[in-house]
Structure 1
Amino acid sequence: MPETDYAQFEMKSPQDRSVMNVLYGLHAVAPFTMWSLSVVALVVNYIKRGDEHDALYVMHHNYMISTFWWTILWLVLTSPLFLAFLIPGFVAWSIIGVWYVYRFVRGWLRFSNHVPPT
């Protein structure tokens, strides 16, 4: 007789939702802390995603992780603008920061409504 994986039937606790809300909050305020809180949240995202069985939670972890790495990519690609011209660099990084916060606020709202982040 095959064994049943009871983890699939496990209901999400309020603590699980609280962890996700804290992670979204850390990511959302990260641009104002020179991205340090985002690195902490990213590590927790990777750890929690590995333990997660709920597809909705996995999608939200993936969403936060991919948003972080896309932001890093765009920050690196636009960093030469600071070497040549200061104003375009600030404009580019401001746009990236606004996009980053928008993605996390949008994802957070969708998580609150029990909807996938896409």
Structure 2
Amino acid sequence: MRDDIVESRSLDPQQMDGLKAWGWVSYVLHLIVAVAAVVPSAQPSIALLVIALIIDLVKRSDAVGTWQASHFSWRIRTVIWAGVLYLVTAPLWLLFIFPGWIAWGIISIWFLYRIVRGMVAMNKDQAVDI
């Protein structure tokens, strides 16, 4: 955890628990998609990722000034970067199957790592290093 991230906004425990519950819902949806991305023939709907992203975008403003704000930003950035990386490497599938498979495998493992790392920090009630 970074020392410069401090909880500058105090929410009552019920509000903090609500934010954390939404955070867990989002992480679980991300985790389902991330695991399926690295397991052959297990493809959940992209709808799960879109639902998680919408949750993060809507609830992020409620978390401003708390340690949980970093988690909302972490998940949003993870999805955006993964999407960009998948799009940039998509032509490798059209030109050469094997490099496309390698690139998407690496991106999927990175995505899974980011989600698990965030879940570990959330479980410890800590901000995620950004």
Would the TM-score normalized by the shorter structure come out above 0.5? yes
RMSD: 1.5
Rounded to whole Å, the distance in 2 between the matches of 1:34 and 1:76 is: 17
| TM-score, normalisation: structure 2 | 0.78
Deviation, 1:54, is 4.1
Q: Between Structure 1 and Structure 2, which shows a larger proportion of helix residues?
A: 1
Contact in 1 for aligned 2:31/2:115 (Cα 8 Å) = yes
* Alignment of 1:107 onto 2:110: no
One-letter amino acid of the counterpart of residue 25, structure 1? V
Rounded to whole Å, the distance in 2 between the matches of 1:34 and 1:10 is: 35
Deviation, 1:50, is 1.9
Contact in 1 for aligned 2:56/2:76 (Cα 8 Å) = yes
| TM-score, normalisation: structure 1 | 0.85
Once the two structures are superposed, the pairs formed by residues 4-83 of structure 1 within 5 Å of their partners are 8-13=9-14, 14-31=17-34, 32=36, 33-83=44-94
Question: Which has more radius of gyration?
Answer: 1
Deviation, 1:110, is 0.6
Q: Runs of 5+ in structure 2 lacking a partner? A: 1-8, 37-43
Rounded to whole Å, the distance in 2 between the matches of 1:12 and 1:57 is: 13
**Stretches of 4+ aligned residues off by more than 6 angstroms:** none
Contact in 1 for aligned 2:26/2:56 (Cα 8 Å) = yes
Q: Runs of 5+ in structure 1 lacking a partner? A: 1-7
Q: Which has the higher contact order (CA 8 A, sep 6+)?
A: 2
Contact in 1 for aligned 2:22/2:55 (Cα 8 Å) = no
Cα 1:46–1:75 shift into 2, 3 Å: same
Rounded to whole Å, the distance in 1 between the matches of 2:67 and 2:78 is: 17
Percent identity at matched positions? 29
Rounded to whole Å, the distance in 2 between the matches of 1:92 and 1:35 is: 19
Rounded to whole Å, the distance in 2 between the matches of 1:12 and 1:67 is: 28
